[in-house]
Amino acid sequence: MAKTPASASAMSGRQYISEATRKGTEEPSPNQEMLPLTARVNSRDCLEIGGCDVQELVKQFGSPLYILDEETLRTACRQYREALKRYYPGKASAIYASKAWNCLAVCAIAASEGLGIDVASGGELYTAIKAGVRGENLYFHGNNKSRAELDLAVETGCTIMVDNWLELETLAEMVASCDSPIKIMVRLTPGIECHTHEYIRTGHLDSKFGFDPNQLDRVFASISKQSGLECIGLHAHIGSQIFELQPHEDLAEVMVDWLVKADSYGLPTRILDVGGGLGIRYVETDDPPSIDAWVKTVSEAIVRACKEREWPLPELMCEPGRSLIGTACCTAYRIGGRKEIPDMRTYLAVDGGMSDNARPITYGSVYRAVVANRMSEDCTETVTIAGKHCESGDILIKEAPVPATQPGDILVTMGTGAYNYSMASNYNRLTRPAAVLVSDGVAKTILERETYEDLIRGDRLPEGLGSGLSN
C-alpha cells in the first residue's frame, strides 16, 4: 500500500489556491504562488485556470498539455515594470530572459507589456523577431555565438552581450562592412556565489560565462580602440532560483566600480544589466522574495553605490525569466497504470515525463501536483509519479500526496512554465506536447502538438537501405 501522508485529512488540492485569491486581498506576487493567479475550483470540483476547466482542456487538446495563464504572466511583467518605476529614480527596464520559454506567443506577450527580450541563440532571436519584437529591444547572450548568429544579430540591430575574446575579435572584424556601429554590452563574471544548484550558479569566478574581472583593463582598452563598436553597458548574472537578497546588493557595488573603470577608457557605458535570478515557489517550503522586494533591493543598492562614489545613475536593466513565466504554467497529464510494491512504494504512471519536463532527472528538481478532477478530496496516500519513458530515472515527483485516483484522472504538475517546454525532447520518439494560452474562459493554441509525421520530417533513408523491407 502507498503510505499515507501526515495530516492527510487536512490536505487537498484546494490548499494550493492562492490565499490572496481566496480572501480577495491585495494582488500577490506570482513567483510566490504555486498555481497560476486565476486558479479556482469549480462546482464540479475541477481545477480551473484562466476560466477554463482543466479536465475539459485535456479532452479538447489532449495530454500532456502545457496550460499557460495569460493573466499571471502579464501580472508578473507589470509588477517588474511598476516596481522599477517606483524604486529606481533613473531610467530602468525589464528584459524577459526568453530561454525560460521562447515561443512566438510568449515573446509577443512580454513585448506588449513593455519588456525587451533576452535571447541565447539564433533560433531564439529569430523567434523573437517573428513575434514582432524590434531590434532595439533585443539582447543577444551566449558564450559561443556562431558567425551566422552574429550576422543575424547585427542585421537585426539588436544589442550583443559580448562574452569572450573570440567574439570581441569577430565583431571587430565585422564592423568594416557595417553602416553603423555595432551595439554591445560586456558580460563580466562578478565572483559572487549564491546558495543555489551547482549547475545554475553562473556568477562565481569558475564559470564558462563572461570575462574574468582581472581582464577588465585589457577588455576596455581593446574596445576603446574600435570605433565601430559602441559599448553601451555592462552585464553580470549571479545565478538562478535565488532566494537571497544580499548577493544582489554585493553585485551592485561591483558593477558600479566596473562602470567607473569603463569611463576611464572613454567608453559610453550607460547601462548596468544586473541579470535576473529571482526564484519561484515550487514546493510549500520555498520562500522566495516578492518581485517588489527584489526590485527594491536591486534599485536601492545601485543608487547607494553610485551615491557613495559620487557617480551619476546609470540606466538599470534586469533580466527576469523564471520569476515571470514559471508559475504561470501548469502541465496536465492523464493518469495511467499503477504499480504497488508492498511496504515500499506505489508508482502512478502518467502519459508524459522526462521529454516534457527534464528538470527532475537533470537537476533533481522537486515539484508538487494536484488531481485536477478531485480538488476537494483528501490526500490519502503518497505516491511516486512516474513518466512513460524507457528510463528508470524518469520520475516526475518522488513523493506526491494525492487522493484515491483512477486511470484517466487528470494530474496537474505546478510551476512548469520555466525550462519545461524549452528543454522538451523527442526521447523515445514521443511527440512534444501542445500548449494553450488561457484567459477569460477561452483557450487558444500557441504550440501545436507534434505528430508522428513531424518526428520523421528530417529523417532521410539513403537509397538502397529500404530494399528488401516488407511493404
Is there a single domain that holds both residue 292 and residue 352? Answer: no
Half-sphere exposure (Cβ direction) of 438: Cα atoms closer than 13 Å: 28
pLDDT, tens digit, for every residue of 157-186? 999 999 999 999 999 999 888 888 999 999
Q: Do 376 and 270 lie in a common domain? A: no
Per-residue pLDDT, averaged over 313-324, amounts to 97
pLDDT higher than threshold 80 for residue 204: no
Cell numbers at 440, concatenated: 477569460
Q: Averaged over 98-115, what is the pLDDT?
A: 98
Q: Which are the catalytic amino acids?
A: 390
The whole-angstrom distance between residue 465's C-alpha and the CA centroid of its chain comes to 43
Q: What's the CA gap between 248 and 255, in Å, rounded?
A: 10
Q: Residue 332 domain-assigned?
A: yes
pLDDT at residue 400, rounded to an integer: 95
pLDDT band for position 119 (50/70/90)? Answer: very high
Does 352 lie in the same domain as 370?
A: yes
CATH of the domain at 298: 3.20.20.10
State whether 301 and 408 are in the same domain.
no
Single pTM value for the model:
0.93
- Give the integer Cα–Cα distance in Å for 160 and 153: 7
CA–CA gap between residue 66 and residue 75 (Å, rounded): 19
Residue 148 CA to residue 237 CA, distance in Å, equals 25
Q: Are 314 and 176 within one domain?
A: yes
Q: Can you tell me the distance from the alpha carbon of 117 to that of 148, in angstroms, rounded to the nearest whole number? A: 20
Alpha helices in 225-335 (DSSP H): 246-264, 291-308, 322-325
Q: What's the angle, vertex CA 387, arms to CA 386 and CA 388, rounded to 5?
A: 125
What per-residue confidence (pLDDT) applies to 207?
74
- 194 with 262, same domain? yes
Residue 445 and residue 406 in one domain: yes
Residue 111: pLDDT band (50, 70, 90) is very high
- Residue 199: predicted pLDDT: 47
Beta-strand relationship, 315-318 and 92-97: parallel
Instruction: Give the percent of the chain with pLDDT over 70.
Output: 92
- Does the pLDDT at position 217 exceed 60? yes
Q: What is the pLDDT of residue 467?
A: 67
Same domain (yes/no): 332, 316 = no
CA atoms within 13 A on the CB side of 460: 2
Measured between alpha carbons, how far is 188 from 186 in angstroms, rounded to an integer?
6
E strand or H helix at 149: helix 147-156
Structural domains in the chain (count)? 2
> For residue 236, which phi and psi values (nearest 5 degrees)?
-150, 155
Name the band, by pLDDT with cuts 50, 70 and 90, for residue 19.
low
Mean pLDDT for 334-347 is 94
| Count of Cβ atoms closer than 10 Å to residue 20 Cβ | 15
pLDDT given for residue 203 in this prediction: 52
- Counting residues of the chain whose pLDDT is more than 90, the rounded percentage is 82
357: domain CATH number is 2.40.37.10
Q: Which residues contact 255 (CB under 8 A, 6 or more apart)?
A: 190, 234, 236, 272, 274, 302, 305
Angle between helices 147-156 and 122-130 (to 10 degrees): 30
Residues 252-288: tens digit of each pLDDT? 999 999 999 999 999 999 999 999 999 999 999 999 9
Per-residue model confidence as pLDDT tens digits over 391-434: 999 999 999 999 999 999 999 999 999 999 999 999 999 999 99
pLDDT of residue 194: 62
Closest alpha carbon to 31 in 246, 436, 328: 328
Instruction: Examine the domain organization and report whether 314 and 427 are in the same domain.
Output: no
Last residue of a domain, one of 267, 285, 320: 320
Integer Cα distance of 421 and 127 in angstroms: 15
pLDDT recorded at residue 190: 83
Residue 456 lies in a domain: no
* Final residue belonging to a domain, choices 271, 299, 320: 320
Same domain for 48 and 12? yes
Please check whether residue 436 is in contact with residue 68, taking contact to mean a CB–CB distance below 8 angstroms.
Answer: yes
Residue 334 lies in a domain: yes
Q: Is residue 124 part of a domain?
A: no
Would you say residue 301 has pLDDT above 90? yes
| pLDDT band, residue 238 (cuts 50/70/90) | confident
Q: How high is the pLDDT of residue 13?
A: 86
For residue range 51-100, list pLDDT tens digits in order: 999 999 999 999 999 999 999 999 999 999 999 999 999 999 999 999 99
User: Last residue of a domain, which of 294, 320, 346?
Assistant: 320
**Across all residues in the chain, what is the average pLDDT?**
92
Could you tell me if 439 and 370 lie in one domain? yes
Could you give the count of Cα atoms lying within 13 Å of 318 in the half-sphere of its Cβ? 31
Cα–Cα dist 90/98, whole Å: 25
Asked if omega into 64 is within 30° of 0 (cis), the reply is yes
Q: Are residues 288 and 200 in the same domain?
A: yes
> Quick check: is 78 in a domain?
no
Is residue 126 situated within a structural domain? Answer: no
Task: Give the C-alpha distances (Å, rounded to integers) separating 467 from 27, 470, 471.
Answer: 65, 9, 10
Report the 10 Å Cβ neighbour count for 449: 16
d(CA 353, CA 345): 18
- Residue range(s) defining the domain that contains residue 343: 8-69+328-451
Asked if residue 106 belongs to a domain, the reply is no
Residue 201 has pLDDT above 80, yes or no: no
For residue 461, tell me if it sits in a domain.
no
Of the pLDDT bands very low, low, confident and very high (cuts 50, 70, 90), residue 26 is confident
- The Cβ-side half-sphere exposure at 256, using a 13 Å CA radius, reads 23
